[in-house]
Chain A
Amino acid sequence: MAFYVVQFLTGLASAASLFLVASGLSIIFGVTRIVNFAHGAFYMLGAYAAFTLTERLGGALGFWGGVVVAALIVAAIGVLVEMLLLRRIYHAPELFQLLATFGLTLMVEDLVVLIWGPDDLVGRRAPGFRGAIDFFGQNIPSYDLFLIVMGPLVLGILWLLFQRTRWGVLVRAATQDRDMVAALGVNQKWLFTSVFALGVFLAALGGALQIPRDAVNHAMDLRVIVEVFVVVVIGGLGSITGAFVAAVLVSELNAFGILIFPKISIILVFLVMAVVLIVRPWGLFGKPEAPARRTPGLTVNPWRPLTANERFAAIAALVIAAALPLFAGNYALTVGSEIAIFVIFAVSLHFLMSVGGLASFGHAAYFGLGAYGVALLAKMAGLPMIACLLLGPLLGLLGAAVFGFFAVQLSGVYFAMLTLAFAQIVWSIAFQWVSVTGGDNGILGVWPEKWAASPSHFYWLSLGIAALAVVILRIMVFSPFGFALRATRDSPLRSEAIGINGKRVQWTAFVIAGTVAGLAGALFAYLKGSVFPDNMGISLSVDALVMVLLGGVETVSGAVIGAVVYKALNIWLVSQTELSKLVLGAFVVLIVVAFPKGIVGTLEAFMHRRRKSSSSTSSLVTSRIETAE
């Protein structure tokens, strides 16, 4: 019995930090409507900064002062981020806000390694809370008791702040209607900045308070952000009480889940989240939000199928690509295969996020499932390659069917958070279930059969499948199903009013996208001869997002161009620098701020303007279409 009580208290102690980070995320979202993906990065920075400060400053005052000062320093960094980056993108579509803050996370991960090194750092114990308290033969660290008190204390302080101060009243008002607050003479800019500062302060404090419990390392940002997303999805985004209750719930589920499923404790949390999503999609303490009117996009050029000339150009490009083995060496062909595989992956995500309007931040999960599907079939069942290539992606399909069912219940930022959380769950299963997946060591020796083994043959195989995938998805875009999907994207209410089952359509699109991603993963397993958990990791999901973004998120063919350009650059970049995440993150932020239309989007806008000036009739037609939008 005592053991369970102690386990319960441990859970409560873990909830404290989780609550701090989640409440910060919720407060920021409430006012700015931005889900700050970089919140985990601020948590991590808080921990690192506190580590350094508490090491440098001695004594009890040094420790507690160090913790608070660390959080304040990180909050100041947050203010800079808000003023320099977020202010530029408050009116940008959601996806761009998510991506920009995500890019920031990537940058921080490399910067942290650059400053503090790659090794785990073990911080000081908290003065006054070094020992443990005996509870019927079980030890409870006294620091845990401190954290247990800390959680409700912060909740109370936040409550007072929001209920009893003018600033709090303004923040609550802005959470509901920020334009009206401005129309009453309140300077929104500073309100936003101060809210962001408070949110970041809470995250950093959460990180700083963890140092006596846990080692500080450069992966803690993603671990915490995934848990925080689960917390806010359960508790309801925007509710501080919800954040507290859900943080306790999730921490307790983790604490006891470890006893029930020692290897895959995250399953329990996932099950609870699934139930909450079905019963209350907006979270336990959240409020159902009216379906947001779609943010006007960047471009208003209507999509159209390729003209005869463009079709000819596309076939010519394919023929030239197919001729590559005639003059290129083996290395170039392997790179070519990889690019072709990533074209498949990128178009699958494009189908989901550009055509379906569902920006998945965990699309790599289905890529990885396809890869693991092939590896397991080939190694365990010993199936021939063709059978593996056909059946392997079915694992991606299965994953997409299960996760997609829950994910499409939500939209916008919730969808993004949920897909990311699902992908992390799949990743941790691959990582922890060593007996089946090999864990970190992966599954090795997945080689293609003789007929496909030579680089040129494998290249042709990949290129052929890529061309097929692009054509099929493109046909779907302009099919009745594609129209229904785009109608649901543009106006869920109106499309429902004409009899489209929006959720069913989106779920189908999710499954299609997941299957095609699985196909890419299947080929990738044969290309590399092995699969690892990283094949479903977050950075791969981000790669896919960047490919679509770089090509042009609002175009039909952007993903293909984006994948070719990005993958080629990426392969070159990795060979040039150690700091690929820093460069990649900066690149993402740069695209969002300076180049949001992408390559194809910019080209289209250019052609559009030329056409406009050459013929006035067509411009009249376009302007009518634009007005109708």
Chain B
Amino acid sequence: MKLAVTDLNSFYGPAHILFDIALEVGEGEVVALLGRNGAGKSTTFRSIVGLVENRSGRIMFEGKDVSREPTHAIVRSGLGYVPEERRIFTDLTVEENLEVGRQPKRPNAPQWDRDKLFQLFPNLGEMRGRPGGRMSGGEQQMLTIARTLMGNPSLVLLDEPSEGLSPKIVEQMVEAILAMKKEGVSIVVSEQNLHFARLISDRAYIIERGRICFGGTMAELDARPDVRDAHLSL
């Protein structure tokens, strides 16, 4: 098992946000975390990489419990994170943004470098010297993914990669994610868009009000229209 989260509870101040979250990701798998706005998808990701301080539970990554490690150590062990808000460094150029993400090679994970990423995202290759602040939303989204891949992660948490993008860019995004999968990167992708999730995922979880209320293959999800209609807005 690549990643196994059990009994994850998170709090913002006195407010209890996540309740006993459990999810698993196998080697090389793409798993979707589906849910409406505010269901707890982003908080789940932020909790896994340690950006939510007040949390409890077990987070086994490659057989090791990382729940007590600081964020940078979790990320360095090969668990990459692409935030929803993109958070590009706007004053830094494309190449400098990638440089921030660069980490040493890892034996058990696919290797990435600038040239390989510029092949994956050709748009970025054409604007190496452009400051992040002067890029379109779609270009920024590609840059955040490329930036995380510079850390040679073996698993990536992708927070709503299709949000706010035009259909054409979404298509490119699907291709990029499938290419990552082909390289052997395990992926957890959070989505509201079931159509997008279906194109890339092997399995899916549904999260609602901070609780996981469904887990199974995409085929199993399609067999349960009641679950889909109750928890996802289509």
The interface of chain A, by Cβ under 8 A from chain B, is 166, 169-170, 172-173, 175-177, 179-188, 296, 623, 626-627, 629
Given contacts A176-B92, A629-B13, 9 further A-B contacts (CB under 8 A): A166-B99, A169-B100, A177-B89, A182-B70, A182-B71, A183-B72, A185-B72, A187-B70, A627-B14
From B72, B97, B100, A188 is in contact (CB under 8 Å) with: B72
From A169, A173, A187, A623, B14 is in contact (CB under 8 Å) with: A623
Which residues in chain B, 59-74, are within 8 Å of chain A measured between CB atoms?
70-73
Shortest C-beta distance, B5 to chain A (Å), equals 18
How far is it, in angstroms, between the C-alpha of A173 and the C-alpha of B131 when the chains are bound? 12
List B contacts of A175 (CB < 8 A): 91
Shortest C-beta distance, B186 to chain A (Å), equals 17
List A contacts of B92 (CB < 8 A): 169, 172-173, 176
List A contacts of B97 (CB < 8 A): 173
Shortest C-beta distance, B7 to chain A (Å), equals 23
Contact A183 B83 (CB under 8 A): yes
How far is it, in angstroms, between the C-alpha of A172 and the C-alpha of B14 when the chains are bound? 34
Q: Which chain A residue lies CB-closest to B147?
A: A184
Q: Is B57 an interface residue (CB 8 A)?
A: no
How far is it, in angstroms, between the C-alpha of A626 and the C-alpha of B7 when the chains are bound? 26
Contact B90 A183 (CB under 8 A): no
List A contacts of B90 (CB < 8 A): 176
Contact A185 B75 (CB under 8 A): yes
Contact A169 B96 (CB under 8 A): yes
Shortest C-beta distance, B86 to chain A (Å), equals 9
List A contacts of B193 (CB < 8 A): none
From B51, B96, B101, B147, A179 is in contact (CB under 8 Å) with: B51
List A contacts of B89 (CB < 8 A): 172-173, 176-177, 180
Most buried by B among A169, A170, A177, A179: A169
List B contacts of A627 (CB < 8 A): 13-15
Shortest C-beta distance, B179 to chain A (Å), equals 21
Which residues in chain B, 97-139, are within 8 Å of chain A measured between CB atoms?
97, 99-103
Contact A184 B151 (CB under 8 A): yes
Give the dominant DSSP class at A's interface. helix
How far is it, in angstroms, between the C-alpha of A180 and the C-alpha of B81 when the chains are bound? 9
List A contacts of B96 (CB < 8 A): 169, 172-173
From A173, A177, A187, B72 is in contact (CB under 8 Å) with: A187
List A contacts of B182 (CB < 8 A): none
Contact B87 A296 (CB under 8 A): no
Contact B14 A626 (CB under 8 A): yes
Q: Is B198 an interface residue (CB 8 A)?
A: no
Shortest C-beta distance, A236 to chain B (Å), equals 14
List B contacts of A166 (CB < 8 A): 99, 102
Contact B14 A183 (CB under 8 A): no
List A contacts of B103 (CB < 8 A): 184-185
List A contacts of B71 (CB < 8 A): 179, 182-183
List B contacts of A180 (CB < 8 A): 83, 87, 89
Contact A184 B100 (CB under 8 A): yes
List A contacts of B9 (CB < 8 A): none
Contact A183 B49 (CB under 8 A): yes
Shortest C-beta distance, B106 to chain A (Å), equals 11
From B14, B73, B91, B101, A184 is in contact (CB under 8 Å) with: B101
List A contacts of B51 (CB < 8 A): 179, 183
Shortest C-beta distance, A348 to chain B (Å), equals 33
Q: Which chain A residue lies CB-closest to B46?
A: A183
